Amino acid sequence: MLTIYTENITSRLSYALYFICTLREIPFQLTDDPIEFKNALGNKLNYSDRNFESICSIKPAALLFDKQISTFGIENKSFNGEECIAFNGITDPLASIFYVLSRYEEYTSRSTDKFDRFEAANSILYRFGWLERVVCDRWAEAIINYLNANGNQISFKKPDKIHFLPTFDIDNAFAYLHKGIYRTLMAIVKDFLYGNSKRLIERQKVQLGQLKDPYDTYNAIFNLHDKGFDLRIFWLLADFNKHDRNIHYKQPFQRKLIQHVNKKIRIGIHPGMQCVDSEFELFNEIDRLEQIVNHKISDSRQHYLMLKFPNSYRMLVSQHITDDYTMGFADIAGFRAGTARPFLWFDLKKNEVTPLTVHPFSYMDGTLKEYMKLTPNEAIETIKRLHAEVKNYGGEFSFIWHNETIGNYGAWKGWREVFEYTIQLAEN
């Protein structure tokens, strides 16, 4: 048992210790009674400004005892050999874990991209060169190593193997099929006006059954399931608009396809852009999917990775979504929350833990190609580094592809090898 003394037991401190101890199966207890702490047997940590002779101590920053969302002077310092955050000059690995895991900086930043998303380039993880590190896990182990080097004997569960979690977003179920007369005619006119004869010929061959629709890559996804991979698929069922362009949710073939996929693979909702500010729209889209598959939906990933704290997650909790898979950046690959481990979301404005489990992902196909402008070989090197980090510190090695990107088609020609490299990491 690890006994931890603090002068003020808060939900923030308990949350940091949940990540450090509970997720590593380390039993612990918190006390604000100095006499009880002195008399306690076994391992001890003093997390306060009080002095206890010959007892391991970490001086706390104010972050875990503050009830508000405040601003701090942030510096890159060191704790027990690991780069760490200093808050107003105080290096505090527990507060560092809470700051990154809770996405504290996203509540205070006003810098966003054209979709009103917080960008990786604005994160301290990017500024300090930590995006490809699971810094929260590194800090947790640095704390444990520090305790053991100062008279304690703490063992913790080390990762034996990674949980591989390939995930797919279905933004557009087919390139040409089942679009309806109006959308098909408009697409033909557009291709004709722009002189895109290749697409005109290709569309005709697909519609005549002479060629497979290039976005119909579902057999490749099923093959992963047949190999024993744990998979997630997120389906966009929003009303048609500029950014949500899937086939209509009432289209019979679309519904049959979803039902077919649902028999093999765990399926979740992919909330459209209108759901960012509308719980009513979120309810409608979840209801559509539930009506199609005839069971409750518990998984979600935001379209375009649209996360706004705390509203996006509060709406998911309100709609009884239990697991979200949006935690990652669109513009740069890496670990948005400083970990690859699933963790419970902490509502910073309410200062409370919620029942929503967050599943971080390490990279998205479009991030590597469209945002970072990597070649397939450069993308493979990035994936290799991310995988090695998860292998060393544990968690889920989760990543995002789309049905249209794994088919080696069009702009994605040559990227199939990147996808296959990721899968081979699990098979090896």
Give per-residue pLDDT as tens, 194-252.
888 888 999 999 999 999 999 999 999 999 999 999 999 999 999 999 999 999 999 99
Q: Are residues 11 and 75 in the same domain?
A: yes
Rounded CA gap, 346 and 12, in Å?
9
The answer to whether residue 46 is domain-embedded is: yes
Rounded CA gap, 192 and 370, in Å?
26
**Cα–chain-centroid distance for residue 232?**
13
Q: Which one, of 133, 158, 134, lies nearest residue 144 by Cα?
A: 158
pLDDT tens profile 293-349: 999 999 999 999 999 999 999 999 999 999 999 999 999 999 999 999 999 999 999
Tokens of 242: 């500029």
The answer to whether residue 344 is domain-embedded is: yes
For residues 164-190, give the mean pLDDT: 93
Give the chain's domain count.
2
Question: Domain with 372 in it: what CATH number?
Answer: 3.20.20.370
The answer to whether residue 10 is domain-embedded is: yes
The answer to whether residue 195 is domain-embedded is: no
Q: Are residues 38 and 85 in the same domain?
A: yes
Q: Are residues 125 and 168 in the same domain?
A: no
Q: Are residues 169 and 115 in the same domain?
A: no
Rounded CA gap, 379 and 400, in Å?
13
Q: Are residues 84 and 169 in the same domain?
A: no
The answer to whether residue 190 is domain-embedded is: no
Q: Are residues 168 and 281 in the same domain?
A: yes
Q: Are residues 83 and 222 in the same domain?
A: no
pLDDT tens profile 345-373: 999 999 999 999 999 999 999 999 999 99
Q: Are residues 273 and 420 in the same domain?
A: yes
Q: Are residues 97 and 170 in the same domain?
A: no
Q: Are residues 221 and 127 in the same domain?
A: no
Say if CB 85 and CB 119 are below 8 A apart. Answer: no
pTM of the model: 0.96
Contacts (Cβ under 8 Å, ≥6 apart) of 264? 222, 225
Question: Is residue 160 pLDDT above 80, yes or no?
Answer: no
The answer to whether residue 12 is domain-embedded is: yes
Rounded CA gap, 97 and 143, in Å?
11
Give the CA distances from residue 402 to residues 76, 173, 270, 363, 405, in Å, rounded to whole numbers and listed in that order: 37, 10, 12, 12, 5
Q: Are residues 394 and 342 in the same domain?
A: yes
The answer to whether residue 102 is domain-embedded is: yes
Domain holding 272, by residue range, is: 163-175+214-427
3-state helix vs strand vs coil in the chain, percent to 5:
40, 15, 45
Q: Are residues 378 and 256 in the same domain?
A: yes
The answer to whether residue 286 is domain-embedded is: yes
